[in-house]
């Protein structure tokens, strides 16, 4: 581990607002239905626009980069609305109400070819669009059941939330943080399963890698890629972009294949994978700008090189 | 404190020699910038002790199970204990190694 290590900027920004939104949206979705719920989404988007200055600044900063010009208020509003809409729709996706949506899917053949090898794979997403849309792919066959790997604290919150919405969804979450979770990941892969991770944030100390996204420097955590390299599995990028109305575009892109990467080549392969991941984020942010859901100061200078902590 | 609940063999104490061997294996696979002597047998592997993160520990688990022919399973209640320190890991290896 010779890469620079710094404290992640967002570690101080708990997912409080996300969880609050999730609670509110869960209630609305289940009591009032999607159409009525979406009326409330406008109120929520308006509320965030007016009363969450930090989120508004982050949104404006991001949209400025993605659109290449200062955003209008309408565009900031649309950004918040898109965020609220995907969280709202998550309730229905978790409840397997796929009939309510129109999905276009890109790259599914590539994904299924890799799955057919039976060695399992990692599916890497981001806080970009709806990762939950993967459930729509899994509906055709139960083999494609994704186990989400996430930080323990979030895992507990999300598990509790999913339990309230659909108890069957709960077993698909693996909390990170002790040796057992790692062995569970390996078992899942050995059974030919899919392990999902959101690789654009880190909930604490992790080795950070400087990358370029939307023409500026940002830092990505190395952890998810290290794990894929260690367990020598293919990695596929996935995003479910919200296109408006009830439409989503699900994209799968090959990201890396660590199957034959030996220890000596690992660092180079890891760097290449992170760079590719950053390029995919850049590509989809430009393609569907309102789908970026990191409402904090994501763009940071490259970390000063500090001695490794080990 | 759980000590080797599902272990058929009696608890075996590891020798200083084995502890050193395991320490060197860890240093090599994680590129740690310490020597085997600097790893205290009872210091925690996680956090304040050696400062390994969960992915480091996974790597150690993979390397150690390959080297000594161990079967580590996710549903074992002992994992937390096994990976708590160099000594407990070495004790486990001493008791279960097949090569």
ipTM of the complex: 0.74
pLDDT (tens digit, 9 = 90+) per residue, A187-213? Answer: 899 999 999 999 998 766 678 899 999
Any CB–CB contact under 8 A between B53 and chain A? yes
Confidence class for position A274, pLDDT limits 50, 70, 90: very high
Is the model's pLDDT at A28 over the cut of 80? Answer: no
CB–CB of B74 and A187 under 8 A? yes
Q: What is the pLDDT of residue A178?
A: 66
Confidence class for position A141, pLDDT limits 50, 70, 90: low
> What distance in Å separates residue B91's CA from the closest CA in chain A?
17
Q: What is the pLDDT of residue A165?
A: 74
- Cβ neighbours of B44 in A, within 8 Å: none
Confidence class for position B32, pLDDT limits 50, 70, 90: confident
CB–CB of A310 and B55 under 8 A? no
Query: What DSSP character marks residue A302?
Result: P
Any CB–CB contact under 8 A between B36 and chain A? no
Closest residue in B to A204 (Cα) is: B53
Q: What is the pLDDT of residue A308?
A: 44
Percent of chain A exceeding pLDDT 90 equals: 56
pLDDT (tens digit, 9 = 90+) per residue, A100-121? Answer: 999 999 999 999 999 999 999 9
A:205-224 residues touching chain B, CB 8 A cutoff: 205-206, 223
Confidence class for position A4, pLDDT limits 50, 70, 90: very low
Is the model's pLDDT at A10 over the cut of 50? Answer: no
User: What count of other Cβ atoms lies within 10 Å of the Cβ of residue A130?
Assistant: 25
Q: What is the mean pLDDT of chain A?
A: 85
> What distance in Å separates residue B41's CA from the closest CA in chain A?
17
What residues pair up with A235 in beta bridges, in sequence order? A122, A256
Is the model's pLDDT at A156 over the cut of 90? Answer: no
Q: What is the pLDDT of residue B45?
A: 83
Q: What is the pLDDT of residue A215?
A: 95
Is the model's pLDDT at B4 over the cut of 50? Answer: no
pLDDT (tens digit, 9 = 90+) per residue, A69-92? Answer: 999 999 999 999 999 999 889 888
Average pLDDT (A251-277) is 94
Q: What is the pLDDT of residue A205?
A: 67
Is the model's pLDDT at A6 over the cut of 60? Answer: no
> What distance in Å separates residue A224's CA from the closest CA in chain B?
9
Measure the CA–CA gap between A78 and A101, rounded to whole angstroms.
Answer: 20
Most trustworthy range by pLDDT among A131-135, A229-233, A304-308: A229-233
CA atoms within 13 A on the CB side of B91: 20
pLDDT (tens digit, 9 = 90+) per residue, A52-71? Answer: 999 999 999 999 999 999 99
Strand, helix or coil for residue A63: helix
Any CB–CB contact under 8 A between A1 and chain B? yes
Confidence class for position A163, pLDDT limits 50, 70, 90: confident
CATH of domain B16-96: 1.10.1200.10
Backbone φ, ψ for residue A222 (5° rounding): -85, -15
| Burial status of residue B6 (CB atoms within 10 A of its CB: 0-12, 13-18, 19 or more) | exposed
Closest residue in B to A309 (Cα) is: B51
Confidence class for position B7, pLDDT limits 50, 70, 90: very low
Is the model's pLDDT at A99 over the cut of 50? Answer: yes
Q: What is the pLDDT of residue A243?
A: 96
Please give the residue that has the higher pLDDT: either B14 or A122: A122
Average pLDDT (B72-83) is 78
CB–CB of B57 and A2 under 8 A? no
Average pLDDT (A280-294) is 97
Average pLDDT (A122-139) is 90
Please give the residue that has the higher pLDDT: either A213 or A36: A213
Confidence class for position B74, pLDDT limits 50, 70, 90: confident
Domain residue ranges in chain B: 16-96
Q: What is the pLDDT of residue B49?
A: 72
Is the model's pLDDT at A143 over the cut of 70? Answer: no
A:56-115 residues touching chain B, CB 8 A cutoff: none
What residues pair up with A238 in beta bridges, in sequence order? A252
User: What count of other Cβ atoms lies within 10 Å of the Cβ of residue A207?
Assistant: 25
Q: What is the pLDDT of residue A180?
A: 76
| HEC string for B1-69 | CCCCCCCCCCCCCCCHHHHHHHHHHHHHHHCCCCCHHHCCCCCECECCCCCECHHHHHHHHHHHHHHHC
Any CB–CB contact under 8 A between B60 and chain A? no
């Amino acid at each position: 581990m010779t890469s620079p290590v710094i404290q992640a900027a967002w570690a101080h920004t708990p997912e409080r607002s996300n969880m609050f939104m999730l609670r509110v949206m869960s209630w609305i979705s289940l009591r009032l239905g999607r159409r009525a719920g979406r009326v409330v989404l406008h109120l929520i988007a308006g509320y965030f626009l007016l009363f969450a200055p930090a989120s508004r600044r982050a949104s404006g900063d991001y949209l400025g980069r993605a659109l290449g010009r200062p955003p209008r208020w309408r565009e900031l509003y649309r950004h918040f609305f898109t965020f609220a809409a995907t969280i709202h729709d998550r309730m229905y996706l978790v409840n397997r109400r796929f009939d309510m949506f129109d999905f276009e899917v890109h790259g599914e053949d590539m994904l299924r070819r890799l799955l057919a090898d039976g060695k399992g794979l990692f599916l890497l997403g981001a806080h970009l669009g709806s990762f939950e849309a993967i459930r729509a792919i899994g509906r055709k066959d139960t083999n494609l059941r994704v186990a989400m790997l996430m930080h323990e604290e979030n895992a507990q919150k999300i598990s509790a939330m999913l339990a309230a919405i659909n108890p069957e969804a709960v077993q698909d979450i693996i909390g990170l943080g002790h040796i057992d979770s790692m062995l569970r990941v390996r078992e899942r892969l050995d059974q030919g399963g899919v392990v999902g991770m959101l690789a654009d944030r880190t909930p604490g100390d992790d080795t950070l890698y400087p990358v370029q996204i939307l023409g500026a420097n940002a830092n990505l955590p190395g952890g998810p890629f290290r794990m894929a390299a260690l367990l020598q599995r293919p990695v596929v990028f996935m995003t479910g972009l919200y296109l408006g109305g009830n439409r989503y575009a699900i994209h799968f892109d090959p990201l890396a294949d660590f199957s034959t990467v030996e220890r000596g080549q690992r660092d180079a392969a890891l760097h290449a994978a992170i760079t590719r991941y950053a390029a995919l984020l850049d590509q989809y942010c430009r393609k569907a700008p309102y789908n970026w859901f990191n409402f904090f100061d994501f763009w940071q200078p490259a970390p000063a090189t500090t001695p490794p902590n080990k | 404190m759980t000590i080797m609940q599902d272990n058929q063999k009696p608890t075996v104490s590891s020798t200083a020699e084995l502890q050193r061997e395991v320490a060197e294996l860890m240093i090599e696979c994680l590129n740690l910038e310490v020597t085997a002597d600097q790893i205290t047998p009872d210091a925690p592997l996680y956090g304040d002790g050696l400062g390994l993160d969960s992915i480091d520990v996974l790597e150690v688990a993979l390397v150690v199970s390959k080297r000594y022919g161990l079967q580590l399973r996710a549903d074992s209640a002992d994992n937390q204990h096994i990976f708590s320190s160099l000594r407990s890991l070495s004790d486990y290896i001493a008791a279960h190694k097949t090569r």
